[in-house]
Structure 1
Amino acid sequence: MIISHKHKFIFIHCPKTAGSSITSALAPLLGVRDIQIGHFPETIPLGIVPPLAMIARSFTFTGAKTIAGNIRAGKPMNKAFDAAVKASYRKALGPVPAHASAVNVRRAFPKSWEEYSSFCVVRNPYDRVVSDYFYRTNKMSTRPEFSNYLRAVLGDERNELSSRLYGNPIKTWPLYTADSRPIVSRVLRYENLEDDFPRFMASINVQPAPQLPRLKQGIRNEAGFRQFFQSQDVDLMKRHFGEELDHYGYTIS
């Protein structure tokens, strides 16, 4: 999640929608008072200095305590710093601040929300869930069957696999909507991102738009998403993602 006071925009980061690439592209543009929550392990190695306001967050009691705990656990400093910034925003933005909902951001930063342009990226839920499957199971010695993964992360079957697959929220519709409608200024399409992202940046007078790096490549195989779904999986997807599927006309075909 990013709030740029310098350029007057807010980025609501929906998981598995090129958020790492977008954050890495936007990070060099941020001013000293701007807010970046998450992805410091990607941006710091690129030589991008975190906003001064985020460095200050790491010196709060919560931030310093989090850094110390991560260092004791053997985590590298950039990951410890990332965890500290996230911990310092949990009270204001909820348990996963890097993927804070638009509702929580609006409540925590009402003036910025009112005055700035906000955006997020959406992706066909069928495609996004397959991407999430490969990401969450990447380090498992044996990947579970896709259908078992799907039931575990959607909460239909709470079991040992569910706890092993704990991670970022899989349903993105609640992250950028309120009362069943989007509340961000602009919704960009993942499948049209090469056009939509520069267009949004031009609308906030940032030209030329920064190039989007390709991060987290090689985790997913190149197979199309349709082959992963059995008929019962499609029914499950329609039940859990129906509003988003209907709103954007996404299908499995």
Structure 2
Amino acid sequence: ERSPFAKILSWANWLASAETYLSGGKLQTDLKALRCSVDRIFDTGEFAEVKNIDLYRGEDGRVAVHALRHENLEADLRTFLSSRGVTKPPDLPQAKAGLMSDRLDPREFFSKDQLRRINDVFSDEFDTFSYSRLL
């Protein structure tokens, strides 16, 4: 799982650079284009499309799994596999390319109003996955 801020930045980057990427280019956007893409997805409400906590819910509505956090994936996976008796975990491939949204400061891309909207819409994800809200 990733923080709501990182997921939104990644989605905005995809929307801004998918055409280039799909035609063989790199999946990277300059920061000005990323900021424009962020504003666009807030204007349309698309930012909420990356909310995926329901993927973790059981039929009773409770989140009954322990999600591995993207920014600690290797360590979290190693801990999980070790708890299951796996002594030699596999090497993880590089699955993401381009913008490393987990390393960006969300306050540089989101307005205070956008941060409030993220905090509200993704409230259950912040609480469930122990991510910090920003303002």
Q: Same fold (TM over 0.5)?
A: yes
Displacement of 1:170: 1.0
Does 2:114 correspond to 1:233?
A: yes
Does 2:7 correspond to 1:128?
A: yes
**Overall identity of the aligned pairs, in %:** 25
Match of 1:74 in 2: none
* SS of structure 1 residue aligned to 2:133: coil
TM-score, normalising length: structure 2: 0.69
Displacement of 1:181: 3.0
Structure with higher helix content: 2
Displacement of 1:140: 4.7
- Cα 1:244–1:252 change in 2 (3 A) is same
Does 2:102 correspond to 1:210?
A: no
Cα separation, 2, equivalents of 1:243 and 1:206: 32
Structure with higher strand content: 1
Residue pair 1:126, 1:252 contacting (<8 A) in 2 also: no
Residue pair 2:78, 2:89 contacting (<8 A) in 1 also: yes
* Root mean square deviation, CA, Å: 2.7
Q: Which has the larger radius of gyration?
A: 1
Number of equivalences = 118
Residue pair 1:134, 1:220 contacting (<8 A) in 2 also: no
- Runs of 4+ displaced beyond 6 Å: none
Match of 2:73 in 1: 193
Cα separation, 1, equivalents of 2:38 and 2:109: 7
- Cα 1:145–1:136 change in 2 (3 A) is closer
What amino acid is the match of 1:146?
Answer: V
- Cα 1:130–1:226 change in 2 (3 A) is same
Does 2:31 correspond to 1:148?
A: no
Unaligned runs of 5+ in 1: 1-121, 156-168
* SS of structure 2 residue aligned to 1:235: helix
What amino acid is the match of 2:97?
Answer: Q
- Cα 1:132–1:233 change in 2 (3 A) is same
Residue pair 2:12, 2:41 contacting (<8 A) in 1 also: yes
Unaligned runs of 5+ in 2: 21-32
Displacement of 1:171: 0.9
Cα separation, 2, equivalents of 1:124 and 1:214: 19
What amino acid is the match of 2:39?
Answer: S
- Cα 1:228–1:183 change in 2 (3 A) is same
Displacement of 1:198: 0.8
